[in-house]
A and B are shown apart, each in its own frame.
Chain A
């Protein structure tokens, strides 16, 4: 029992320290695809270290909310990382929170980030916050529905349980419910983590930016926490995509061999997803902001179809 809790904490920490590396890997892959040399994959770690050493500059108009938000965002995302099955499933900590907890913890982070964007009263922050909320309002139900389609198939809203059930029944991984839910979740991942068709992660100065506009007022430690949390959020989505839909490799027993296999499988899945995102970001142009709701409603329809088909197949 204690071993399982240690495992849960360990996989949360692993996710935390792996997250900037995944972001760096995507950036490096993108640079190579665009014929640039690119910064090494560990560049985000250096950036985080630099930011943690810098002083914080806070707007005179900012309230306590501005100081609180980075911690809430970071803590809620870290909690999600503990709850999702990174290396092993099912674990007893799964009982702390199922998919609904995960979805709404993610939403809590988004909510506080939007509040913090509004708080200092800068024009960019307000724009970013209103856009982020527009996107979140459409992405969040899609996320819940997509995972719910899986939960329906597994008969449990418990994430570890869902992964274990798919492992036990390999044929269900290619069922239309799974495939539709995967497509829906992939689109939501792009929207929620501010990747390319929705938001441009590579720039600070663009009128249509979303995530960067909200955190424009942040500096120093606070900015480091927020950047780290957003990297962790990307990793959490990757883990959801990799381990809920293709759960093979997850450790079902807590033996050193199984955990080592799980670590290898995780690295492989993260690598494949990073390549997929990098190729996609190189190929597509950013959508006009007014078309983003259309993309998200398309993914919502996909998730809806996934749920209905999982109902029918039973």
Chain B
């Protein structure tokens, strides 16, 4: 039972992480949105499985919220933004694709190193997957730092959110539902604010390129 759960959690977390890595490899906005949708669904799957094996019925609610909010609503909003400036691709990020992929590999290894003490002392069947969640958090931060287009950074931020949620689910079998709801609301509001920003940036500069913002200094 525990072995199956451990395998499932590992499989789901690996999927969540791989969807995060797609952000570094693809260049088109629709691909980013699809990756985020897939990641959220995989995350909801992990939440559901943890709820079932860990006897935490509250996690079913979390899984349902994840599916609706991050699997449907936010991707739909992202798609609407994507239709407006979907033709802009992530052409010259600060770090090129091959290097970023290798960096991402190193970051995941770093995540393993950081989480080692926790994994060693934990008794949970999910402990082996915890470093993957840390890896996703680090990779998403890397995306936010190295990519220039506002939309890519937003998807990076949302994936960072997913990473934190995954860490919470794996590490503690979910935080209380009320806190979880607060986090969801926070993420949604943050996303909406960022959306407004993107529209303003687009209006002012006719592009989503964050690099253009340095022109404001002159």
Contacts and interface: CB of A to CB of B under 8 A. Distances in A.
Contact of A175 (B10, B102, B104): B10
Interface residues of A, number: 21
B7 A305 contact: no
Given A171-B3, A174-B11, A301 B98 contact: no
B105 A300 contact: yes
A278 interface: no
Contacts of B105: 300-301, 304-305
Interface string A222-244: 00000000000000000000000
B160 interface: no
Interface string A171-213: 1001110011000000000000000000000000000000000
B102 A179 contact: no
A294 interface: yes
Give the dominant DSSP class at B's interface: helix
B21 A301 contact: yes
A308 B108 contact: yes
Interface in A257-314: 291, 293-295, 297-298, 300-302, 304-305, 308-309, 312-313
Interface residues of B, number: 25
Nearest to A176: B14
Given A175-B10, A179-B14, A312-B131, A301 B109 contact: no
A312 B128 contact: yes
Give the dominant DSSP class at A's interface: helix
Interface of A: 171, 174-176, 179-180, 291, 293-295, 297-298, 300-302, 304-305, 308-309, 312-313
A174 B101 contact: no
A308 B108 CA distance: 9
Given A174-B11, A294-B101, A305 B108 contact: yes
B205 interface: no
B25 interface: yes
